[in-house]
Copies of this chain bind each other. A is one copy, B any other.
Amino acid sequence: MPETRRGRPTMNDVAAAAGVALKTVSRVVNNEPGVNASTAERVHAAIESLGYRRNDGARTLRRGRTASIGLVIEDVADPFYSGLSRAVEDIALAEGCLVFTGSSGEDPARERELVLAFCARRVDGLIIVPAGTDHDYLTPEVEAGIAAVFADRPPGAGPDADTVVCDNAGGARAGTEHLLAHGHRRIAFLADAPSIFTAAERLRGYREALAAAGLPYDEGLVAMGRPDQARVLADLRRLLRLADPPTALFTGNGQITVATLRALAGTAGPAPVREAPSSGPVAIIGFDDFEPADLLGITVIAQDPAGMGRAAAELLFRRLSGESGPPQRLELPTRLVVRGSGERPPA
């Protein structure tokens, strides 16, 4: 019967129970060679009867690597980031690594807090979807050997690090071109605040497509801001009340697409007024695929969240296994998925 010690049994307890030295237990626990089978047997029995489990914290302290990584995203509850998370998790687990996850909620202070907390736990590496633009706080950590990979958005000021983004501008260009090809000339652009990298890039792509088609850039057709329902509804009402309203909408991410659809459907407060009642339904293309976009017939510019997570994790583990070289920057492709909403002709 084990003595009534506080807390869990340690290797020392096991050693005492098995009548061997501490180091022998360590050998058995870690499957190190060179232990007599019968000795090992006794040790195993002691482990079993005491309910011993190695303390990885202590192990880590001695060995240097924690076999854990930190993942900081914008929000796990957002399907884009949860898809990315799952891919990161899977690769980490395959590498024998556990994952600390944290949502920054687009708050730079919280991002920093999470990252530094992970660093204090001495994670081996980090995958970060940056919320802020100042990553100087990371420099000492990176210099101390913590590997960092940025995903979805590049870091702001701070250490040069590997980055995985998607082809935001290209995707937005393709979407806009698609609407132009279907005859639209007044295309509104609704997106996140321009301070967010992806939104700025998508705006760039939209503008490039307009320019290439010889069309003017009309600021009145652009509405950028928080992705919440109220803001989107208000902006949409303004847009549709214009003297020369848009015949098509390009929405800059999944949340905004859904909010826009709700606003158009009137599910979210009063439906935005249509000044020209004769006009058909407005065309719409959204950046980011979302779960039942197929059921709703929404044409989208899809990116692959799991693919992004995988790319970031693979990059990270390559660094952790010693690969050196200059920081890499991967740009993942996007894909136009035609489903009907983006192919409606102008009214």
Interface residues of A (CB under 8 A from B): 7-8, 51, 53-58, 60-61, 64, 66, 68, 75-79, 82-83, 85-86, 89-90, 93, 98-103, 114, 116-122, 140-141, 143-145, 258, 261-262, 265, 267, 290-292, 294-296, 306
Contact = CB atoms under 8 A, between A and B. Distances in A.
B79 A77 contact: yes
Given A77-B86, A98-B100, A121-B98, A267 B294 contact: yes
20 contacts: A7-B144, A7-B145, A51-B140, A51-B143, A56-B122, A57-B57, A61-B61, A76-B85, A76-B86, A76-B101, A85-B101, A86-B103, A90-B103, A98-B118, A99-B100, A99-B101, A101-B101, A262-B294, A262-B295, A292-B292
B55 A120 contact: yes
A175 to B, nearest CB: 20
Given A55-B61, A98-B102, 7 more contacts: A76-B76, A77-B85, A99-B101, A99-B102, A101-B101, A258-B295, A292-B292
A241 to B, nearest CB: 23
A120 B54 contact: yes
A68 B120 CA distance: 12
Contacts of A258: 291-292, 295
Contacts of A143: 51
Nearest to A54: B120
Contacts of A82: 76-79, 82, 85
Nearest to A268: B294
A43 to B, nearest CB: 17
A116 B56 CA distance: 11
A55 B57 CA distance: 11
Nearest to A102: B89
B296 A296 contact: yes
Contact of A61 (B57, B79, B117): B57
B83 A93 contact: no
Contacts of A64: 7
Contact of A53 (B66, B85, B119): B119
A58 B55 contact: no
Nearest to A98: B100
A140 B52 CA distance: 8
